[in-house]
Amino acid sequence: MATVKVLTSEVVVPAEETPAGSIWLSNLDLAARRGYTPTVYFFRPNGEREPPAGSSFFAADVVKASLARALVAFYPLAGRLGVDAAGRVQVDCTGNGATFVTARSSYALDDLMREFVPCREMRDLLVPPTPAPNPPCALLFVQVTYLRCGGVVLGLAMHHSVCDARGAAHFLETWAGIARGDAADAAVPPLFNYALLAARPSRSRAVAYDHPEYKPEPEPVDAVAASDYASAIITVTKAQVGALKARCPGASTFRSVVALVWQCVCRAQALPPEAETRLYSMIDMRARLDPPLPPEYFGNAVVRTSVAASAGEVTSNPVGHAARRALAVTSQGGDYARSLVDYLEGVDVTNLPRSGISRAHLRAISWVGMSLYKADFGWGPPAFMGPALMYYSGFVYVMNAAGMGKDGDLAVVLSLEPESMPEFRNVFAKEIAHLELS
């Protein structure tokens, strides 16, 4: 593995004075994984486009100045995680700023893209180190790594208690737009009114669902074993996605792909037919609430959902059956979200399960359609974007494949226990080949 040398490390504060005070967080923010979400964006030099303001490719001063301007609108990211007088976690809008690192690597972009999989080693190379994710900690860390070929890696670590992936995409859109010369005031401003997801008054609360996803598993998950994983990035072409969806009538792209992954994981792990396997996911509730949340809501507006089946049911039926079972993971409406918020009001959120899932289970996250893979800072969109780290074994991201000429292609980013990954690759490749031939 190539090396990375840190050149500079400094703090970037908002370019203008920003509101002070504290921001109350909703139960969904408090229930989110207490930690940082590390992501990476690989950029290939684009000789056909003039650099912003005549600067060189991914010039640190342009990236840093545009970050300072973006933090004016997204000022909570320049603050610190704090606690109120009762010990409840909140955001303290201190304006202290975000960490900004520049580095140089002996990697060439093509070599890095061949070697890269989300793992601790890559995260440590390409994303700044972060502190313990508890108050009082900073909320945003940025690293720009210059490669020997002229390419660049942008690495981010954003605290999950502040926002979900859609919020992160909103911030990145704004920052990239400023960097490429768009007017800062042209961006849609974020909304920090987390009271929109407050629990209902005690007399009106209605916990109408069981919410097993927020309760510990009957057998505690071995966090050490769950963190020992192998990861892979597998491209599914537009044609393959189309063939798969034809086998899953009425299913979304995400459900169709996840159904096939679920089947192949169960087969690769050789689970007994009677073993329970549970498919977890996270569902964005912005548009499902009544009234809907404004799309610019900046916070955690996602809820955990799941569906259980026997391994035999998942593996012995056509993939369309697994897709229909997966419908239960993605079909919840606003009443489900309100029930969850009310449920969380009555539990100690510090004791929610966060360390992993059992071997037979899978957690699938959709980044399909999000603008993360289009982040254009003035030098073109990334050749690749994705998570820098998988949190534990059994995690799956489905996202658009970044890069030119890949419109409609998807990337499946997966972590499994090391002994199951080779067989999963084999089974998945065979199933995809079979789809193309049929």
Question: Does the annotation count 376 as an active-site position?
Answer: yes
- Bridge partners for 278 per DSSP: 308
Maximum pairwise Cα distance, the chain: 64
Both tokens assigned to 112: 């890095």
Question: Does the annotation count 160 as an active-site position?
Answer: yes
8-state DSSP, 422: H
Which listed residue (110, 284, 376, 409) is catalytic? Answer: 376
Name, in order, each residue with C-beta under 8 angstroms of 192's C-beta and a sequence gap of 6 or more: 23, 76, 298, 299
Q: Considering just the CA atoms, what is the radius of gyration of the chain in Å?
A: 22
8-state DSSP, 282: E
Nearest to 21 by CA among 90, 85, 74, 70: 90
Which listed residue (92, 159, 160, 361) is catalytic? Answer: 160
Distance CA 417, CA 392 (A): 9
Distance CA 172, CA 373 (A): 10
Please state the φ and ψ torsions of residue 154, each to the nearest 5 degrees.
Answer: -100, 120
Both tokens assigned to 392: 């534990």
| Amino acid at the residue 363 | R
CA 59 to chain centre: 27
Query: Is 54 strand, coil or helix?
Result: helix
Q: What is the set of active-site residues?
A: 160, 376
